[in-house]
Structure 1
Amino acid sequence: MIRLAFRSLVRRPLRQFLLFLLIMVTAALPVFILQTAGGLYGGINRAVSPFPILAGAKGSAYQLVLNTVFLRDRPVGNIPFSEMGILKNRGETRAVYPLGFGDNYRGFRLVGTDRALFGYRPVKNKDPWLSLEEGALFQEEGEAVIGSETARLTGLKVGDTFRSVHGSSPKGRAHNHPFRVTGILRPVGGPYDTAIFIDMKDVWEAHGEREPDKREVTALLVVPKGYREAMHLLSAYQENRDVQMVFPSQSVISLYAMVGQTKHFWEIFLASLLAVSLLITLLVLYWSGLSRMKELALLEALGAGKARIRRFLLAEEGMLLLAGSVCGWLSGYGASLLAAHAAAGAAAITMVTTPDWRGALIIPAVTILGTAAGLLPVLLLERKDVSAYL
């Protein structure tokens, strides 16, 4: 029966190929939307997760998060480096790390910080957020550790030297302060794969901040001891005129809420589009079966029997629908990988590309519903005299 169904499919190649394309597109659309939306939100959440609290200059909280977490836009401003000591001495923090921005190399942001950042574990009992793939951490001024994407896209290797330029534009004024690459980091799956880490002292040196009382940082990554301590910190800094305390995850949630109505609209639109596409597929399969009523009636008249005809159509439609839905899933997932690659090159977000198991449900859904639609003509044949179709 399988061999007979296969021969029936290849006997009408153009017709079956068009049906195959329709089924594939119907299955690919929801998979692509599901993977792309899930990958985007997953990438945003993964980028934010190492930053429980940020302290920075008063201004736009979104700009502070965008610059510090996603390495985009310009810094809001600077705060005194002495604020780091104040936070450490409050007794509510587990660690505080300085972050200094302002320079770049070929568009890749330089991040001034402390060596202690490389021992920071966002999740206890798990690997540090930033760990070396090769080389060593910077030890002295003029040394740098680069992210995996920075190394790949610039071609920098351990031992190479480079000069940074002022500001976030690659066309800025060059600093007379060379750096030597001492290490390359493992991929973290986020914006900091494109960072260049240097000692905070190098940032001060490049910008003429030699006196300790005048040294500043762009932001402080603050790790609280717990939720209660985090809320105490937020409350304590609400009245501060110079420094703001920001929860990046809260800012992202607020951003989700702001675009929620638009997201809801697109969800309804895409669900409707999917329903229409699926309905069209079912109707085409039904009409395809109706157009073969004479052929099916002839098979019954020749003694095939209704049960064998049902099995024949079940095998034929099932093979076509299964192949189309599987190829549709592969096409949708493949298109989402291309979208993730494009986003990685043009945006600050590294999308999550792990296959979403819910997308695979389209395969049995299309196969079962499509086969049921294709068998409807057989039910009509059983209710009428065979001679009516001959």
Structure 2
Amino acid sequence: MSLLHMAWRNLVNRSIQTLITIGVVTIGVSLTLGIMLLSGGVKQGIIKASEPFGMIVGSKGSANQLVFNTIFLMDNPLANIPLDYYHTLETDPRVAQAIPFALGDNYQGYRIVGTSPQFFELKGRPIDPPYFQLEAGRIFNKPYEAVIGAKAAKETGLKIGDRFISGHGVARSIEPEGEHKDHPYTVVGILRSVSAPADQGIYVSMDSYWISHEHHEHDEGDHHEPVQNAVDSDEHGDHEALGVTAALIKPASYMDLMKLYQEINQGKEAQAVFPGQVIAKIFDMMGSGEEILQYISWVVLGMAGLTIILALYGSTVERRRTVSILRAIGANRNAVFTIIFLESVLVVFLGCAGGVLLGYVLSWMLAQYIGSQVSITVSITYSWKLLTLIGGVGLLGILAGIVPAISAYRTDAARHLNANI
């Protein structure tokens, strides 16, 4: 019988104690691995969601709220910036592109976003293809045509050609608002999934947004002016009411970007926000919670090591006569040391294997839940940190196995055999 087989049989003979010890190691490894996988996956998902958005300009208030409004389609919208101010940005020679972004209505809880066709041309980098791609249909080209995000289309069941009535506000409406029933939307396009919060949006023209809020009084068949001309029309009346929640700004150059950022924030009309700066603060907040959870997981792993020591040491004390018999029939001290040490190695190996499996399963389940709630892709992929984790747990197991192995090595065979005669 090999020493490894003997070590395995010893563990099987103490099955309850062995399972408890393996369970503690499994929990420690799965908790640590889950924290690593989820934190990294969430960060990558947030970064991916913000890729196409440059500088965001909105009304004075919380920068976090402005980013959550535009990128994550969450939180209550800030007050609108006046349309004439937006028009000033749009015509500024330092601005290569200004895209309106307006919130205020919803359909079954999915936010209706007023914007322009240029929104669908946004790119993460100049060399990248457009971030938003059509799965079916086309982009809207007149009022009350809608392009639906992938998740919004899936959850609502809307298809090309379907019509729907919006509800007022960004929260789910039980019944559509009465004034909206005269202006149903028609689905003309469905976006390909980008695995980001944008999948939850329903995108319509700015004219649709203004008409639905009773800022337009056109007869059926009237021409509706585009956003860049709307400010010049007397029909539109109050320019402040004809505002936009935010403007997505692409500068002509980096120097222009920094000048615009300073000028806007020094003024009283609006604020300019770099999503990357806000996201960095979010990561800092995540890091504090992640650090606490990591401390907890290392404490659990430390308890696992202590459990291994106590379990093997206790079994060694109980089996002194067995060890003495092994010595008496020819097993040397090194063989006894190896058997006890191999028991520790087996426990750690099984605990790590179970921990890795459980960690990936739980991480995948949580990633699916997070994705279903906020449409952020949480990628659960192989991490090189896994090798560090397994190496650390393996070292912990080696150290934990040495103490009882040394105890068995030093067992006085003659004394324990005589004591049981």
- TM tier, shorter chain? 0.7 to 0.9
Q: Deviations over 1:221-276 (max 9, x none)?
A: 1123444322111112123222221222223334555x489548726752663454
**Of the candidates 180, 185, 189, which is equivalent to residue 179 of structure 1?**
185
Question: 1:128 aligned to 121, 127, 130, which one?
Answer: 130
Query: Structure 2 residue aligned with 1:37, among 36, 39, 51?
Result: 39
Corresponding residue number in structure 2 for 1:280:
306
Mapped pair 1:71 → 2:73: yes
| TM-score between both structures, scaled by the size of structure 2 | 0.82
SS in 2 for 1:251: helix
Instruction: Specify the alignment match of 1:363 in structure 2.
Output: 390
Q: 1:331-384 CA deviation, whole Å, 9 max, x = no partner?
A: 123223333333334457554433433134322322332134224333233344
- TM-score normalized by structure 1? 0.87
Residues in 2 aligned to 1:276 and 1:378: alpha-carbon distance in whole angstroms: 19
Relative to structure 1, the CA distance from residue 374 to residue 125 in structure 2 (aligned partners, 3 Å threshold; closer, same or farther) is same
2:407 maps to which residue? Answer: 380
1:135-191 CA-partner distances (Å, limit 9, x unpaired): 332333332221222122222233322211111122262512222223322222321
Q: Letter of the aligned partner of 1:326 in structure 2?
A: A
Return closer, same or farther for 1:290/1:315 CA change in 2, 3 Å cut-off. Answer: closer
Matches within 5 A, 1:155-170: 155-170=157-172
Give SS of 1:79's match: coil
After superposition, the C-alpha distances for 1:300-359 in whole angstroms (9 at most, x for unaligned) are 322233344444444443233212112112212322333333333445755443343313
Report what 1:344 is aligned to.
Answer: 371
How do residues 1-390 of structure 1 correspond to structure 2 at under 5 angstroms?
A: 1=2, 2-171=4-173, 173-174=177-178, 175-176=180-181, 177-210=183-216, 212-213=230-231, 214=239, 215-254=242-281, 259=285, 263=289, 266=292, 269-270=295-296, 273-274=299-300, 276-291=302-317, 292-347=319-374, 349-390=376-417
In 2, the alpha carbon distance for the partners of 1:346 and 1:26 equals 28
Counterpart of 1:182 in 2: which secondary structure?
strand
Retained in 2: the 8 A contact 1:61–1:246?
A: yes
AA matched with 1:94:
A
Q: Is the 8 A contact 1:326 1:363 kept in 2?
A: no
Per-residue CA shift, 1:184-220, capped at 9, x if unaligned? 2222232111111112221122123338224422111
- CA spacing shift, 1:196–1:39, aligned 2, 3 Å: same
Unaligned runs of 5+ in 2: 217-224, 232-238
Tell me the matched-pair count: 389
Counterpart amino acid of 2:313? W
- In 1: Cα distance, 2:295 partner to 2:344 partner: 29
Query: Which protein has the larger Cα radius of gyration, Structure 1 or Structure 2?
Result: 2
Q: Deviations over 1:45-92 (max 9, x none)?
A: 333333221111223322222222221222211123344443344333
Give the SS at the match of 2:166.
Answer: strand
| SS at 2:266 equivalent | coil
Rate the CA distance shift 1:19–1:43 in 2: closer, same or farther, 3 A.
Answer: same
Decide whether the 8 Å contact of 1:108 with 1:194 is kept in 2: yes
Conserved in 2, the CA contact under 8 Å of 1:71 and 1:348? Answer: no
Task: Name whichever of 369-378 and 184-193 sits farther off.
Answer: 369-378
RMSD: 2.9
Match of 1:144, SS? strand
Cα separation, 2, equivalents of 1:94 and 1:248: 18
C-alpha contact 1:325 1:362 (8 A) present in aligned 2: no
Shift in Å at residue 131 of structure 1? 1.3
